[in-house]
Chain A
């Protein structure tokens, strides 16, 4: 009877614990990261009595949480990739939206600019179309600057996001180290279920910020790694990440980690996955690439447009001057360079071929052992230049085997020291620094500086001369002098056409007459003569003369507007619009990929969470059933006590009687 009482009480105790656990499960049905708990019951040691073992009741062996390491790790991995994809997608969509918006993108502005240019070609002497084109050019310049500003804003936001993600990572790492401490120090032999759940939740939150891997220690602590084995949490301690300014540009940030002794190590390249990985990849793959490429377009556009404009003559009869100010190429010295006298190396860069510019960046460095070298950042392709800096594509840099990136480098002053580095970002400032050089619509060079004529009154042959194209204006006299000091007079002698009078370098030149063939014998001029010529006397005569008063001439305007159709970008493979389309498509493709991967990763994450919940999640119906079950068992155990009691009573009354 005493045994019965003891067994009954053990049942009461066990089911009380079970009911308590059911209540805990019900209460935490919606707690994030909670694993349902289960009371493990077992029999108490039996008593050997009268040759047989008699049971002595039930005991609570442990309260276990129902979980599976594999499922939890899976959730963690997919959280990192899902938040990577979603953050990348969110940021890339912004740039995606800016570029192709008909109201904001460059496409329509470039089209409008060339339309206005055609209007100038239609009416070169009139001011209104020139004014419209001038205004449209300003709009074009503004639009480049505006889009660039949007990207700079994005870069600013990106820096803020990265900074706050880094501080969140530090917070989580600290909290996980704290949890490790609590878990290691937890008393008793049973697992501290709720602490473990909380640590799993923290790890899960951390993996949304950055991809991590974990190793559990014997003492129950968890070590956390990221990147290529960088330790974030070791046993009971957390390492700290810090946001640093880039050595080249204070507007860019890097991430470094304390390595002890007050030293910090740049670990930007180690970061992958999670929000931080997404922000970092978005910065290099989308933002920087797009900004640089767009800047390269601004530089290429200004450079090629200027080149044609300089071959023309404006409304005031002056040789065309640069239409735009071509933005300079950016080169930034590292803050770690030796700037002490007499070293303090200053390297300058100059544009040599705008069609070769891309969105790439280059690292230019000096080593006392091997001299200068240049490394393309996108693929790490590196070339040694040697101990002297004679890097100029026009003069084979330093030999023809080298890549032509479209710019030259020269040492302006100082002497480089071992380890000096420079970052070259050719296109970075292009969109921002593009500006107008001409200040009035009259300076649009719609006319050509020279025109041709046939000596109508004396020629007896039927020969005609084409209007002529200027290919090089360097032989012309500068304003206010007329381009040609005197007419270039050409006469036919029966076989050749000879320049019989005219300024240098043309005077005295001669070329064979070839009906309708293009003549390039006169420096900087291109034309054809056709028809039947007469050697006279008097010999048939043709002239180039200064286009004085030629306000109605639109030859150069036509050539300017033809630039739209020429392949002047991407090493002569793309027009301005093609090139811009390429930039838009690149961003579009990256954004598209990010969207697809985002929805795929979301699905994978949902599946992983479902698998985890299938095992560890609370099902209220199940808990209701358990509640009933344990309640009944509890009541039954109470009845055992009642029975034991009544047995005891009947024994007592038997004795009393």
Chain B
């Protein structure tokens, strides 16, 4: 084939430009560590990456929710454990007070500690979490759940709402329990129906001061203690579920990240190899150009 001078020049320059363009892309990939620089590099990969980025962001958020949930549940657990201890102490005092060997004076002394413990229990029922919200008032988290109306009347001002936190796309876990359920939903032998624990203890302490305590207080306190155990067991179960979910989320993260990395991250070994190859190609085209340009019959005329 006949070759024109301009064509030789153009072909040499074009091939140099092409090498440079390839080189620049590889350089960009190496600098960013990404195989996909723009969606057109891999449109379907980009769509997958977008979807996976959303999953990762959600998963990170779920992990944040889990941390928050765990801390809230742990606070509640601690409070209920203290409430259980307080009830236990009141039960001991009740056993002591019921003993008929006690005189009026002794019973007065015991009653005074029961009053103390009742106050303690009442405060625990009105506990707040780290952000200043009441633990046991349901949805009305800024409303003090239990109010002492005097003369043994205690009123629950909260509701039966339970806040739930999202720990996976499909799973929500309760982060609170209603005070009404823990301290109010209790069968009392003394009252012959349901009655809140504060009133029950109040009545007992008053009877103790009057030197006339009734024995069924022990059953009533046992019911209340059982309730705290029951709720604590439930909290424990929730914490376990959340821990299991943490592992699932972590595994999910690792999987998604490895898939995502496969799609969008650069294989450095391959890229460096490619870079060398392209460099060699560029040098070769440049040298070829220089050699060919030197050739001309006019040099010999």
Contact = CB atoms under 8 A, between A and B. Distances in A.
A547 B141 CA distance: 12
A621 interface: yes
B51 A125 contact: no
A122 to B, nearest CB: 5
Contacts, number: 207
B194 A553 contact: no
Contact of B163 (A552, A584, A609): A552
Interface stretch (B41-49, B102-110, B222-230, B282-290): B41-49
Interface string B143-176: 1000000000000000111111110010010001
A551 B14 CA distance: 69
A589 B38 CA distance: 11
B142 interface: yes
A613 interface: yes
A564 B176 CA distance: 25
Nearest to A591: B40
B5 A618 contact: yes
B162 to A, nearest CB: 7
Contacts of B166: 118, 121, 558, 561-562
Interface stretch (B60-68, B73-81, B116-124, B234-242): B60-68
A100 B39 contact: yes
Interface in B59-104: 60-62, 64-65, 68
B170 to A, nearest CB: 9
A309 to B, nearest CB: 18
A650 B250 CA distance: 115
A584 B46 contact: yes
B297 A581 contact: no
Contact of A552 (B42, B61, B142): B142
A456 B295 CA distance: 103
B261 interface: no
A521 interface: no
Contact of B64 (A118, A451, A586): A118
Interface stretch (A106-114, A178-186, A217-225): A106-114
B162 A96 contact: no
B253 interface: no
A582 B161 CA distance: 40
B57 interface: yes
Given A585-B47, A592-B40, A457 B140 contact: no
A461 to B, nearest CB: 13
Interface residues of A, number: 78
B138 interface: yes
Given A111-B54, A552-B133, A552-B163, A615 B194 contact: no
Nearest to B137: A552
Interface in A431-471: 447, 451-454, 456-458, 467
Contacts of A589: 40, 43
Contact of A550 (B39, B133, B159, B185): B159
Interface in A560-604: 561-562, 564-565, 577-578, 580-582, 584-589, 591-592, 595
Given A118-B166, A456-B184, A617-B4, A558 B40 contact: no
Contacts of B143: 549
B54 A549 contact: no
Given A453-B159, A577-B50, A617-B5, A624 B40 contact: no
B3 interface: yes
B180 interface: yes
A551 B131 contact: no
Given A447-B139, A577-B51, A96 B7 contact: no
A422 B171 CA distance: 49
A384 interface: no
Given A93-B38, A456-B194, A118 B65 contact: yes
Contacts of B139: 447, 451, 547, 549-553
B4 A619 contact: yes
Nearest to B176: A552
A613 B6 CA distance: 8
A195 interface: no
Interface string B241-282: 000000000000000000000000000000000000000000
A585 B159 contact: no
Nearest to B72: A122
Contacts of B194: 456-458
28 contacts: A100-B46, A107-B53, A112-B57, A114-B58, A122-B65, A453-B159, A550-B138, A552-B142, A552-B176, A553-B161, A554-B163, A564-B54, A580-B50, A585-B39, A585-B43, A586-B43, A587-B40, A588-B38, A592-B40, A606-B14, A613-B6, A614-B2, A617-B3, A621-B295, A621-B297, A624-B296, A627-B301, A628-B301
Interface of B: 1-7, 10-11, 14, 38-44, 46-47, 50-51, 53-54, 57-58, 60-62, 64-65, 68, 131, 133, 137-143, 159-166, 169, 172, 176, 180-181, 184-185, 193-194, 295-298, 301
Interface of A: 29-30, 36, 92-93, 96-97, 99-100, 107-108, 110-112, 114-115, 118-119, 121-126, 447, 451-454, 456-458, 467, 545, 547-555, 558, 561-562, 564-565, 577-578, 580-582, 584-589, 591-592, 595, 606, 609-610, 613-621, 624-625, 627-628
Given A121-B166, A553-B139, A588-B43, 13 more contacts: A111-B53, A549-B139, A552-B133, A558-B172, A562-B166, A577-B54, A584-B46, A585-B44, A588-B40, A588-B42, A589-B40, A613-B6, A614-B7
